[in-house]
Amino acid sequence: MNGWNGDDTIYGFGGDDVLVGRRGIDLVVGGPGDDYVTGSHGPYPDDDGVSYGGDGNDRVSGGTAYGGDGDDIMWGAPEAYGGPGNDVIRGGRYIDAGAGDDIVNADFGDSTIFGGPGNDVIRADRWGDADAARDALRGGDCGAILVEPIQGRGGIRTPPAGFLGDLRRIADEASVLLIADEVYTGLGRTGHWLACEAEGVLPDVVALGKALGGGFPISACAGRPEVMRRWGASSGEALHTSTHQGNPVGCAMALAVLEVLEREQLIERVRTAGAAALERLERDLAGCPSVVEVRGRGFMIGIELDSPASALRVIEAALRSGWILIGESEDLRVLSLTPALSIPDSLLESGLDRIVELCGS
């Protein structure tokens, strides 16, 4: 079967070297349950700037542990610890800004989330509206803005131009952190190392996962050293931990994936091939009665259809002919096209041919 949806896999079927960890336990440094991986990839090269975990949820919850100047800390457990004397902030339920479907008091797809003590999540109702973010911060009790640069499960929704830059400025003005959930969008998916780079925005903290291990479960929370060091030095206790945090095999996998991305120049390839694929779909699907919009960036493309039934029909027909598509958005009416970054040109063209045929039939 030709796998089309490769959001967990960077290199695809031919990437055996991605599965080879050339270095093992010596890569992992740090105290018990507080493991970091050395390396110089990405925008936060300092050794203290990356914490590795088992999956994307680990790192999203890890990212929300940092708020403002360290006094306003959000956490994904029933209690949060922050401020002088380890003051307890109550009511911090799990915050997931990935798709919006698991967010307390938030409608599906509203992935610009503001957390504050005593009020689990403060929601900006208009995703993509920077003024809503500014209004939500006026109370002064928020420690961070958590945003998905391009919504994945929410329907492959790209924000208005300048939105991320506006959030960066708003966060700086309010002295809070900007946290980017790049579990879906990061590591080349959009044709950039991070989707935020398209607007020249550097978040304070970034959550990574999915493609980081080329299919192996590993995630990372990367950030500015001065932010990550707010944990303080461990005297032996686990400051922040999960069962598989800092897994040596996962860390070796991640380093191999980063090496392949650079060596094969896959990110540059995705930027070019993704733009061409998007242009072709927009052209070939123009005037198709069932197609509402084609949108996306790089190898993260969404085709919104006029109904969930139309999307299901295309998904089932594609599966019968050997192509895997996923429905996104609240009612799954958006077809998600996220092929492996190394998909051969001929296979990419065949997939696009079939999708155009099915959407137009």
pLDDT in tens, 275-329: 999 999 999 999 999 999 999 999 999 999 999 999 999 999 999 999 999 999 9
Nearest-10 crossing angle of helices 345-360, 266-284: 20
222 CB-near residues (< 8 Å, 6+ apart): 42, 43, 44, 49, 50, 51, 205, 206, 208
Q: Which has the closest alpha carbon to 35: 215, 239, 209?
A: 239
The Cα–Cα gap between 304 and 294 comes to: 6
Q: Closest Cα to residue 157, out of 34, 336, 320, 2? A: 336
Pairing of strands 177-181, 205-208: parallel
Nearest to 89 by CA among 70, 108, 63: 70
Cα(278)–Cα(264) distance, integer angstroms? 22
Greater model confidence, 355 or 104: 355
pLDDT of residue 135: 86
**Beta-carbon contacts of residue 309 (< 8 Å; ≥ 6 apart):** none
Nearest to 5 by CA among 334, 250, 259: 334
Under DSSP, is residue 272 helix (H, G, I), strand (E, B) or coil? helix
Calculate mean pLDDT across residues 223-252: 84
Among all chains, which residue has been given the structure tokens 């006026």? Answer: 138
For residues 258 and 208, is the Cβ–Cβ distance under 8 A? Answer: no
The encoded tokens of residue 132 equal 């809503």
The yes-or-no verdict on residue 41 having pLDDT over 60 is no
Q: In sequence order, what are the residues at sequence separation of 6 or more whose Cβ sits closer than 8 angstroms to the Cβ of residue 17?
A: 256, 260
pTM (predicted TM-score): 0.73
pLDDT band at 129 (very low <50, low <70, confident <90, very high): confident
Give the pLDDT confidence of 5-26 residue by residue, as tens digits.
Answer: 554 444 443 333 333 332 222 2
**Inter-residue contact 169 to 163 (CB < 8 Å):** no
At which residue do the structure tokens 């203290």 appear?
Answer: 48
Mean pLDDT of the chain: 74
Q: Is the pLDDT of residue 82 over 80?
A: no
Whose CA is closest to 208, among 186, 176, 237, 233?
Answer: 186
What 3-state class would DSSP assign to 187?
A: coil
DSSP letter at 159? P
> Rounded distance, CA 156 to CA 301, Å?
7
CA distance 13 to 158: 29
Chain-centroid distance of CA 203 in Å reads 13
Q: Enumerate the β-bridge partners of residue 105.
A: none
Q: What is the CA radius of gyration of the chain?
A: 20
237 or 298, greater pLDDT: 298
Picking from 6-15, 105-114, 225-234, which range would have the lowest pLDDT averaged per residue? 105-114
**Average pLDDT, integer, range 176-194:** 96
Say how far apart CA 142 and CA 149 lie, in whole Å: 20
For CA atoms 279, 283, 286, 290, the dihedral sign is: negative
Name which of 295, 302, 298 is nearest 270 in CA terms: 298
Query: In the predicted model, is pLDDT for residue 37 greater than 60?
Result: no
Q: Are the CB atoms for 126 and 135 separated by under 8 Å?
A: no
